[in-house]
Amino acid sequence: MPLVGWGGHLGSFPSLWQLQSPSTPISSWPQCSIIVKNKVVATFDSVSSQAISLVGSGWMFYFVVSVQTTINMGVGVGCILLGGECVQIMYSNLDSGGQLKLYHFIIMVALIMIFLSQLPSFHSLRHINLASLVLCLAYSLTVTIACILAGRSSEAPSKDYSIKGSNLTRVFNAFSSMSILGTIFGNGILPEIQATLAPPATGKMFKGLCMCYGVISVTFYSVAVTGYWAFGNNAKSNILKSIMPDEGPTLAPTWLLALSICFVLLQLFAIALVYSQVAYEIMEKKSADVKQSIFAMRNLLPRLVLRSLYIIVCAFIAAMLPFFGDINALVGAIGFIPLDFILPMLLYNMSFKPPRNSATYWINNAIMVVFTGVGIMGTISSVRQIAIDAKRFKLFSSNAFD
């Protein structure tokens, strides 16, 4: 919220709710509808197979796989970085003179991720997904309470709700903010999730989408609004860093913050596991032998090596370039916006073929044009911000940049 202030983010709520919630006309529902229309749910078990079936060209496969890989790796890097940062925050408050650096905690989080990554499939994550829902609600509740307590504390910093920077900087920040919101509300693996459901999947997916976007809206805006209210334009992208600053007193009960950190760590593990599964399946299509059991040594050994290497690469990037906010914006601009706001409209038009004089056809085209521009500008603004942050940064820094 510091990027665009009260008006920008609160104004984005109704528009994003219309674009990406229960009926999800921009992304989720067109993808479900295409599958239902073709009446072959099992065939379209991924965005790439859906695109290939409709477009019928090899370039689309590589385009979609590239975008999904960007999303999955970006989410993996972000989760590992944020997890390491949360552990570092607690460590710094318990031992202010400690010698451990951010990359040490990133390594710790990555080791746990390597262990958890051996769960073989989406289906094996079903209980983790349920736990993720509970953790998301628990984390947002504890952090919201902590922000309210911090904002009412006599030791709270002065609040300034003005938007920082020149007019040009504000424009770039606005597009970065849109890209971050695309990351928050985006879903780059919807067909992969739907493929795990027993047919008919339409009703189940609709109920799941209603719950999904309802929970996202409540949890995201409760933390964003209370955090911005408590700290103004000095709020950090990781709000726990504002509540537990490096200098000065902790602004909420330590036990509450410790509980919040536990919740967010477990939630980050769940998010990273779900998004990494798509990358694992792409890699294992070539390495696995489908005629043998998933636990056979022929499949177990390549899975162990490939998944471990994937997590190691994500952890290395997170430790080397700890730009959490910038990574969110870049992943949203080049990943979630094309996959969730542009490609579904193209596939919808190609599948249903609405008349060229119909409102649906022109609305879909308008959405594609608008969000192509948003994606391009979001990419420019996020790369620009990374370049600015890089000027005051050294590799494997002990502090994450907003």
Predicted local confidence at residue 377, as pLDDT: 92
pTM over 0.85: no
Predicted local confidence at residue 380, as pLDDT: 92
Range of 36-40, 279-283, 308-312 with top mean pLDDT:
308-312
Lowest mean pLDDT among 16-25, 94-103, 319-328, 357-366: 16-25
Q: Which residue has the higher pLDDT, 81 or 5?
A: 81
Predicted local confidence at residue 310, as pLDDT: 92
Please state the rounded mean pLDDT for residues 291-307. 79
Burial of 59 (0-12, 13-18, 19+ CB in 10 A): exposed
Please state the rounded mean pLDDT for residues 350-361. 85
Query: Which tens digits make up the pLDDT trace of 71-105?
Result: 888 888 988 988 998 888 888 877 777 788 888 89
Write the single-letter amino acid at 119: L
Residue 312's pLDDT band, with cuts at 50, 70 and 90, is: very high
Predicted local confidence at residue 129, as pLDDT: 72
Under 8 Å between Cβ of 326 and 382 = yes
Nearest in space to 172 (alpha carbons), one of 378, 393, 386: 378
Q: Which residues pair with 206 in a beta bridge?
A: none
Predicted local confidence at residue 48, as pLDDT: 62
Contacts of 400 (CB under 8 A, 6+ apart): 81, 82, 85, 102, 238, 322, 323, 324
C-alpha span between 400 and 317 (Å, rounded): 12
Query: Which tens digits make up the pLDDT trace of 190-206?
Result: 666 666 666 666 677 77
Query: Which tens digits make up the pLDDT trace of 237-281?
Result: 788 888 888 777 888 888 888 888 888 888 888 888 888 887 887
DSSP 128-181: HHHHHHHHHHHHHHHHHHHHHHHHHSTTPPPP--SPPS-HHHHHHHHHHHHHHH
Query: Which tens digits make up the pLDDT trace of 131-187?
Result: 778 888 898 999 999 999 998 888 888 888 777 777 888 888 888 888 887 777 776
Predicted local confidence at residue 178, as pLDDT: 83
